[in-house]
A = this chain, B = another copy of it.
């Protein structure tokens, strides 16, 4: 998917919502556990209930790997269901991968070609040759961790290299890599004011912002500092939407939670 197609979808749906499909079988409604594939059954209901309100879905691969082969089958079915029924939706494999060059190529192939995701999240620690294999894919997007939403972000990311924070150094250096136009960045919503500085470094790149909702970030704060001329934001909510309810009406509860965020986004977009 091109960035232009993503932006067009945002304007059409009046939404820049991304829904995180982090399926934990301890948290899904009990009646789904008798299904042959309860993970996919859960995702299908969530997608059916919310696809008109969201522009992106983001399964975190950890939740699928934790169920072994069954989990990978559920991940395959989920991405296939999205690509077949909602090809306009932007898909993110939240995998946080990164390895030496020939190995990163294998990851890129797995997520972009075999599974057919539009994008994958990557970790910057191993540098340029660990990320460029992902950037080589045309109309695919590599979402690099910059500033994450967890407490551990302060262990290294906000420390300074030659007077400049590590996360800013990561962004600046990554801009020099080949095909850097295919880069997006993860920036946690728990530190919305940081977005102001980040927008100076990358005025146009999309930012994937986790941490709105369950992790305490404010949507209006994020938009105040993070919106760009092409919107440039994907706001993720996972638990706040998919576990809004946990009995037979969980689909309606998820739709309501998504609708609440989408309505706020519509107000923000209409006011631009």
**Chain A contact residues (Cβ within 8 angstroms of B): what range?**
35 or more
Chain A, residues 60-80, CB within 8 Å of chain B (1/0): the string is: 101101111100110010000
Q: Known contacts A66-B107, A66-B110, A123-B96: does B150 contact A101 (CB below 8 Å)? A: yes
A62, A73, A166: most-surrounded residue (chain B CB, <10 A): A62
Contacts of A155 in B (CB 8 A): 124, 127-128, 173
Contacts of A153 in B (CB 8 A): 126-127
Q: Is the CB of B125 within 8 A of A151?
A: no
Copy tally for this chain in the complex stands at: 2
Contacts of A148 in B (CB 8 A): 100, 125-126
25 A-B contact pairs sorted by A residue (CB < 8 Å): A60-B103, A62-B97, A62-B99, A62-B103, A62-B107, A65-B107, A66-B114, A68-B76, A68-B115, A69-B76, A72-B72, A124-B125, A125-B148, A126-B148, A126-B150, A127-B150, A128-B152, A155-B173, A156-B166, A156-B169, A156-B170, A156-B173, A160-B162, A161-B166, A166-B166
The residues of A with any CB-CB pair to B shorter than 8 Å are 22, 24, 60, 62-63, 65-69, 72-73, 76, 96-101, 103-104, 106-107, 109-110, 114-115, 123-131, 145, 148-157, 159-162, 166, 169-170, 173
